[in-house]
Amino acid sequence: MATATIYDVAAHAGVSIKSVSRVLNAEPNVSQALRDKVDRAVAALGYRRSLSARTLAGASSSLIAALVDAQLTIEHWRSGRGNDYLSRLELGALMECRQADFHLMVELVDHGSPDLRRDLTSLLASIRPAGVMLTPPNSDHPVVLDVLDEAGIPYARIGPESDFHRGIRVSLDEQQAAADITDHLIDLGHRRIGVITGPLGYSASRLRLAGFEAAMKGRGLTIAPGTVVDGDFTFQSGLAGAERLLTAEPRVTAIFAANDDMALGVLQCAAAMGLSVPGDVSVAGFDDTPSALFSTPSLTTIRQPVAEMAAAATRRLVPSLRAALADGEDGEAVVVPYALIIRASTGAPPE
């Protein structure tokens, strides 16, 4: 069967091509009756819009661009472990884009590049997105935000830490979540707890460390020297951080890693040293990636709903989806819930 065209849709619906275009581009002041006619014709013919046609001068863009951190993404790729955060983010955004016949484009952005402004300006001029989704640390980068504001492109920021008046914000309470998982370890009886941070250029890393510190202080506990080590969200940094923590004396009885990939590195390090988890050391992570459930032992962690966060951002960037938001849902600041998931990797400290 030949591919249906916009002319076929117009003929099937008994309306003009211009009317079909107005409906497909989600333009305002279009009657519901016209929308219904065009939607029925689109469904009957299996019509799919041409991406190239929609990027012609004067046409509405059908692209949502997700700008992700190039450095960390490449590091995950080199490690051979992939990037579960990015996979879940893509899934959440793709499901929403598909409903509106939009397309998702993921672009790597090196926020440390001296040519960031020029590169980003060129990219946006080339792809002309209808909206942009920013992941940390791009969510808080002043050059990235300035370029988008100057271009007049709507954007949604995942997990921003500052400039809350700019763009759509989608986040969870990172600090409280980290405090909750720290309280869980304290409730089990742990007093000497080690932490492997994420890269401190990320707001999430700083907030998770702040949550740990607040929980320890709130329970009257001090953070021992040498029990906070730097990581970069990769498995290898979790492995290296765990080696430092587990070879120091006195040894920590629990380790909170700021994401699951690093926590998995801790599990491997403990196994290599002949330490049992949680008998000799308890381990907790953050994110609730699929690996957290299937690791040995399964990992206590914070469930971060990355796909839901991306979906919420996309719904506010795509005009037709934004128009369909329920009353009270169409806010510029969206806070998604998290959950403490307790599994087999945490238990009482050794006597």
d(CA 182, CA 215): 6
Token output for 40: 């029925």
Q: CA 188, 243, 285: angle at the middle one, nearest 5? A: 45
pLDDT at position 35 is: 87
d(CA 174, CA 326): 26
Name the residue type at position 95: M
DSSP letters spanning 1-42? -PPP-HHHHHHHHTS-HHHHHHHHTT-SS--HHHHHHHHHHH
| pLDDT average per 10 residues of sequence, the chain (351 residues) | 73 87 76 89 78 49 89 68 79 91 90 88 88 92 94 93 89 96 98 96 92 98 96 94 96 97 97 97 95 95 95 91 74 91 97 82
Token output for 333: 């600041």
Name the residue type at position 41: A
Nearest one of 64, 61, 15, 69 to 42, comparing CA atoms: 15
pLDDT at position 57 is: 42
pLDDT at position 163 is: 85
pLDDT at position 80 is: 56
pLDDT at position 183 is: 98
Side-chain half-sphere exposure of 177, counting CA atoms within 13 A? 30
**Phi–psi pair at 157, nearest 5 degrees:** -110, 125
Whole-model pTM: value is 0.79
Question: What are residue 109's DSSP bridge partners?
Answer: 69
Interhelix angle 17-24/32-45, nearest 10 degrees: 90
Work out the number of other CB atoms within 10 angstroms of the CB of residue 42: 22
pLDDT at position 81 is: 56
Say which residue the tokens 């333009």 belong to: 27
pLDDT at position 8 is: 83
d(CA 205, CA 15): 54
Q: Which residues contact 231 (CB under 8 A, 6 or more apart)?
A: 196, 197, 198, 199, 237, 238, 240, 241, 257, 258, 262
Answer for the pair 259, 233: CB distance below 8 angstroms, yes or no: yes
pLDDT at position 275 is: 98
> CA 62 from chain center: how many Å?
21
Q: Which residues contact 255 (CB under 8 A, 6 or more apart)?
A: 193, 194, 195, 196, 242, 245, 246, 263, 266, 281, 282, 283, 284
Helix count and strand count (H, E) for the chain: 15, 12
Q: CA 76, 82, 88: angle at the middle one, nearest 5? A: 115
Radius of gyration of the chain (CA): 24
Say which residue the tokens 């969870």 belong to: 172
Side-chain half-sphere exposure of 72, counting CA atoms within 13 A? 24
Work out the number of other CB atoms within 10 angstroms of the CB of residue 277: 22
Q: Which residues contact 92 (CB under 8 A, 6 or more apart)?
A: 306, 307, 308, 309, 310, 311, 314
